Structure 1
Amino acid sequence: MFSSYDGLCGIGELAERAGVSVKTVRFYSDSGLLPEASRTAGGHRRYGPDSLARLRLIRSLRAMDLPVPSVRRILDEEDTAGRAGGALEDAVAGQLRTLGTQLRALRWREAALRLVQECAPDERADRLRLVGAVTAPPNTAPMARFWRAWLPPRMPARSVTAFLDVAVPQPPEDPGTAQVLAFARLYAFVDRPCGGTEPTQPHAHRAAGARDSAVLYAGLAQAYALAAERMRAGSEPHQGEALDGFVEAYASAGGITDTPNFRRELARRLAADPRIDRYWELTAELISPPDGSPEPTPGSAHDWLLDALNTQQGIALPAQRPGRARS
């Protein structure tokens, strides 16, 4: 309760009691957050007994960087229901999401700065150019565009989304310098057109219709997941469930029976398909854990399965595949 004869107080007294400036009180009043009880004949603002508690609540909400519209919704809800409920919860949740994004951006900027700082002087200009092209936090939309252009044009949207979920790597929340460099190089890789005059898509893409492409990629996803389990266990490419599912995906998409002749032809055809090794190499660098153990990617799983198919057909394996990755 204020000590004045009418139980009200002026703007200066209210500001002093709340520990804010008169300008701040005037701003909140003009914004409709802090109603005035009355005005004197001379036009001076007067505030009621509840104004101090309301002003302190406003200051607390604003101290959490909640925007004025959010503060207004919280106050309106408190005026109506007698307490802050859903509006406060929504505002706090939204602010936490915003802060999470900001913190993630700061961690990426810090790692990028360390990357430039720690590299050799003659490499700094190139590193700065690479990391400077990437937003913080990093945006994976260029990777998604790259794959949308590469996938069969009639592939159903649901199948495209499922493929992008595994083909587009999500940057780590707290990256190391090597991961920042891998992402920057990956960003630069997808930001330029696939090169040359050779076709950039596998043979299966050019022949697949909407249903066939959905069948193909659903089957490949299962085969890649099985192969990844074997790869994490350190198994060399071999026959089994993963290889059978891999072959069946191509056979089902083409309406063909899985036979020894089909497997020989498939091995020949896959060996001639174009490759996107560099994408999968960089993806593995980006998503692999700090202990250095390589995490399988769809590309490296494809290579493992193709090696298993070649072994079954008695075909000599390549001496070395970069990153064991394939488009």
Structure 2
Amino acid sequence: MSDHTELFSIGELARRTELSVRTIRFWSDSGVISPASRSAGGYRLYDAEAVVRLDLVRTLRELGLDLDTVRQVLARQVTVREVAGAHVRALNAEIRTLQVRRAVLERVARDGSTTEEMRLMHELARMSADERQRIINDFVHETFDGVAPDAPGGQIAQAMRTMPTELPADPTAEQVDAWVELAELVSDEGFRKRAREMAVAGAQAGQEPLGHDPAQVAEHAGRAVREGVAPESNEGKEITDRIVGPDLPSAERARLADRLATFTDRRVERYWQLLGVLNGRPPVPSQLPAFEWLIAALRTHA
């Protein structure tokens, strides 16, 4: 008798495929394979095609496909290529989730964490990429609500949404820390109010911090900070005059100091620094100490 007409009992089929009788019976009951006929005693008999189908079923199951999908493949309702593509996408999502959890656990193992930090990290790890991005989008929407897209604040709003939807595949300890710190920062009510204040002020005509050259501030006020020059000193006044000009009236100096103070905040600068870390950008030296020095000097010499 040829292989094409030979029939096998479940036991014989199990020996040929190295699958258990229980598994073959379960798959047969599920409709994945069907017996070719039955023996005189009512036992199921399978043909050589069942051997081939069982090999395919085993391969698909080992790749993680459920039985419903396997049945669709065997019935040619979907192709193996389509199924493989869908499962690649699902596995990639699962891998990303595991990478996030690994990164969080590594941070806890490295530094230890408070109960609140662990709660936050656990929530972030469970979120989808879209849900994590929504945290940033909600913050930006609240901050810039009513600010015209073509206003200076509108461009800033778009830039403030640039949190990556995923941590890198192998995030550094700094990126994990930045990810957690950013979530804490945008949840802080005081920070949200301060960012809103800056956004509204930036959208109003004449409220932009004009009247100075940022490069001059970085050069001269930055050097004063590094060298420990006091803003109220005579040398501090000379440096201030180099930045804003010696002829700027006292009242204008006071107004400029107030405008600069509106747009100078360490937490807002920290927000940009954290986004830079998450997006893999090289660190930029902080300019805030130079502006704080200039604000103090302007007020002193006004």
Question: Shared topology, TM-score over 0.5?
Answer: yes
Question: Which of 183, 196, 199 is 1:187 aligned to?
Answer: 183
Is 1:73 aligned to residue 66 of structure 2? no
SS at match of 1:128: helix
Q: Looking at CA atoms only, which structure, 1 or 2, has the larger radius of gyration?
A: 2
Cα shift readout 1:69-108 (whole Å, capped 9, x = no counterpart): 322222122xx8xxxxx62112112222222222223333
Which of 108, 115, 118 lines up with 1:128 in the alignment?
A: 118
Contact kept, 8 Å, 2:103 with 2:176, in 1: the verdict is yes
For residues 241-296 of structure 1, the C-alpha deviation after alignment (integer angstroms, 9 at most, x for no partner) is: xxxxxxxxxxxxxxxxxxxxxxxx9997675358533322322232336xxx3179
Worse overlay, 17-26 or 66-75: 66-75
Q: Determine the structure 2 residue equivalent to 1:178.
A: 174
Counterpart among 124, 140, 147 of residue 147 in structure 1: 140
Q: Which amino acid aligns with 1:191?
A: S
Aligned to 1:169: 164
Q: Distance in 1 between matches of 2:107 and 2:172?
A: 9
Rounded to whole Å, the distance in 2 between the matches of 1:196 and 1:317 is 22
Q: Following TM superposition, by how much is the alpha carbon of 1:61 offset from its aligned partner in structure 2, in angstroms?
A: 1.0
In 2, the alpha carbon distance for the partners of 1:197 and 1:189 equals 12
Alpha carbons of structure 1 residues 37 and 294: separation in structure 2 relative to 1, 3 Å: same
Distance of 2:87 and 2:160 partners within structure 1: 27
Q: Which amino acid aligns with 1:46?
A: L
Could you tell me which of 107, 115, 122 is aligned with 2:107? 115
1: CA distance, partners of 2:16 / 2:85: 31
Q: 1:104 to 1:191 in 2, by over 3 A?
A: same
Cα distance in 2 for residues equivalent to 1:165 and 1:43: 71
Structure 2 SS opposite 1:34: coil
Aligned position for 2:200: 203
Give the alignment's TM-score, normalised by structure 1: 0.58
Task: Give, in whole Å, the separation in 2 of the partners of 1:7 and 1:111.
Answer: 56
Say if 1:18 and 1:281 are closer, same or farther in 2 by CA, change over 3 A: same
Normalising by structure 2, we get a TM-score of 0.62
CA RMSD of aligned residues (A): 4.1
Flag the 1:29–1:165 CA change in 2: closer, same or farther, 3 A: farther
Give the aligned partner of residue 48 of structure 2. Answer: 49
User: What SS is found at the alignment partner of 2:183?
Assistant: helix
Q: 2: distance between equivalents of 1:75 and 1:22?
A: 21
Q: CA shift at 1:132, angstroms?
A: 2.8
State the aligned residue count: 237
| Residue of structure 2 equivalent to 1:309 | none
Does the 8 A contact of 2:143 with 2:195 survive in 1?
Answer: no
Distance across 2 between alignment mates of 1:190 and 1:197:
10
**1:64–1:17: structure 2 CA closer, same or farther, 3 Å change rule?**
same
Q: For residues 188 and 294 of structure 2, what CA distance do their matches in structure 1 show?
A: 26
Equivalent runs, 1:249-264 vs 2, <5 Å: none
Residue 169 of structure 2 aligns to which amino acid in structure 1? E
Report the alpha carbon displacement of residue 186 of structure 1 after superposing the two structures with TM: 1.2
Deviation, structure 1 residue 174: 1.2
Deviations 1:94-148 (A, max 9, x none): 22222222222333323322222222x6x56565344233215764222222222
Looking at structure 1, the residues matched to 85 and 192 of structure 2 have their Cα atoms a distance apart, in angstroms, of: 49
- Counterpart of 1:294 in structure 2 is 283
SS of aligned partner of 2:75 = helix
Aligned to 2:230: none
SS in 2 for 1:134: helix
CA shift for structure 1 position 50: 0.7
Unaligned runs of 5+ in 1: 81-85, 209-235, 239-264, 305-315, 322-327
SS at match of 1:9: coil
Q: Unpaired runs of 5+ in structure 2?
A: 206-213, 217-254, 296-302
Q: What's the % identity of the aligned pairs? A: 31
- C-alpha separation in 1, matches of 2:137 and 2:192: 21
C-alpha separation in 1, matches of 2:74 and 2:187: 48
Which of 290, 293, 299 is the aligned partner of 1:319?
293
Q: Distance in 1 between matches of 2:23 and 2:96?
A: 32
User: Once the 2 structures are TM-superposed, how far is the Cα of residue 185 of structure 1 from its aligned partner?
Assistant: 1.4
Runs (4+) off by over 4 Å:
1-4, 123-127, 153-156, 194-199, 204-208, 265-271
